Amino acid sequence: MRIRDAVQKEDYKILVVDDEQGIIDSLTIFLNKYYVTGITNPMEAVETLKNEHFDLLILDFLMNPIHGDQVVEEIRKFNKDLYILLLTGHKDLAPPLETIKRLDIQGYCEKSDKFDQILLLIESGLKSVEQMRIISEINQKLSDAYTSLKEAYHGTIESLRVAVDAKDSYTAGHSDRVAYYSKLIGEKLGMSEEDLETLYEGALFHDIGKIGIPDSVLKKAGPLSPDEYDDIKNHPSIGAHILKPAKIFDNLIPIVKHHHERYDGKGYPEKLVGEEIPYMARIVAVADSFDAMTSDRSYRPRFTLIKALDEIENGKGTQFDPIIADAFILVMKEKREQIENDLKIHYVLRKDDSV
């Protein structure tokens, strides 16, 4: 166990690895204002670094049973950030520059009877360590602030989304189901976890713009007039406008704004065609249509599962992206029981609903 000096030491931990105990003793004396640990066995040093934090490693090159560059090879497998200063007493046997760069060895110095150059490199290295500490602290604070801000915005938008569901009892839970279906499609298509999260959130908020649609239109029993239908068609643009001030939701806006585009270009609001439509919006379009068809409305009863899937099949290439539609149909056939359980069977399947 290392005994700390009575003198107040600076808050840095340095590990010195050299198979000559005399070098370790000399450096420990010169570095007495820091917490210094010395080890003569390079293999023991690797194990120590796996279990204990150090700010700087001073490492001899020529050692037994392995050389310093081999020690660094092992260290870099589990620690990419450690600041390493490599020493050698044999200039002609020093590792090539390419090796030093590849292993990200930050400092290199020849041994001598005087430690002036080594001490300068150590001081320089510790300044770099301090700068990295500061940068790390700043990044953590920024990350915490970003998370808090995102949670605040998320809470606000979630409140609006719940308000939309509350406006129309026929569509309550619609956004949750669309988000669920969308994620299943995304998983089937092999999307990354990051993209799946974006897809899920975008689907969750896809109808947020309905908060700006009059109740008289949103809850109307029966067919809509042309003017009322125009009002309904505004909700994707309204939703995008709601999200626009919060930059953290930039990646959700294309989903919200374009989930009612059609693959044949006859959708809204911009009549985009085929792959002009954002990929995630094409996914949500399929999930949204399926849930609308399998949910009761004031003006019509829900479709059976078979009928809804037939509509998705028939809409391939016109209303829906064919690849996405096929992925959804396949998911429904493969995971029907799981889907029913996950959704707590939000509709009671009819006898003719077999897949």
Question: What's the rounded mean pLDDT across residues 109-132?
Answer: 82
Quote the pLDDT of residue 91.
64
- Judge whether 148 and 317 are in contact, CB under 8 Å: no
Count the alpha carbons within 13 Å of 332 in the hemisphere toward its beta carbon: 23
The first and second tokens of residue 40, run together, are: 């003569």
Set out the domains of the chain in order of their start, with CATH numbers: 13-138 (3.40.50.2300), 168-342 (1.10.3210.10)
The first and second tokens of residue 345, run together, are: 């069977």
Which member of 111, 183, 210, 257 is catalytic?
Answer: 210
Please state the pTM of the whole predicted model. Answer: 0.61
Q: Which residues of 93-130 are buried (b: 16+ CB within 10 A; e: fewer)?
A: ebbeeeebeebebbbbbebeeebeebeebbeebbeebe
Model pLDDT for residues 169-211, shown as the tens digit of each residue? 656 688 889 999 999 999 999 999 999 999 999 999 999 998 8
Quote the pLDDT of residue 168.
64
Burial class (CB in 10 A: 0-12, 13-18, 19+), 24: buried
Orientation angle between helical segments 279-293 and 305-314, nearest 10 degrees: 140
Question: Is 210 among the residues known to form the active site?
Answer: yes
- Hey, how many other C-beta atoms are within 10 angstroms of the C-beta on 14? 23
Identify which of 201, 287, 279 has the alpha carbon closest to the alpha carbon of residue 246. Answer: 201
Residue 326 has pLDDT above 80, yes or no: yes
Identify which of 287, 265, 289 has the alpha carbon closest to the alpha carbon of residue 277. Answer: 265
Quote the pLDDT of residue 108.
76
- Judge whether 191 and 216 are in contact, CB under 8 Å: no
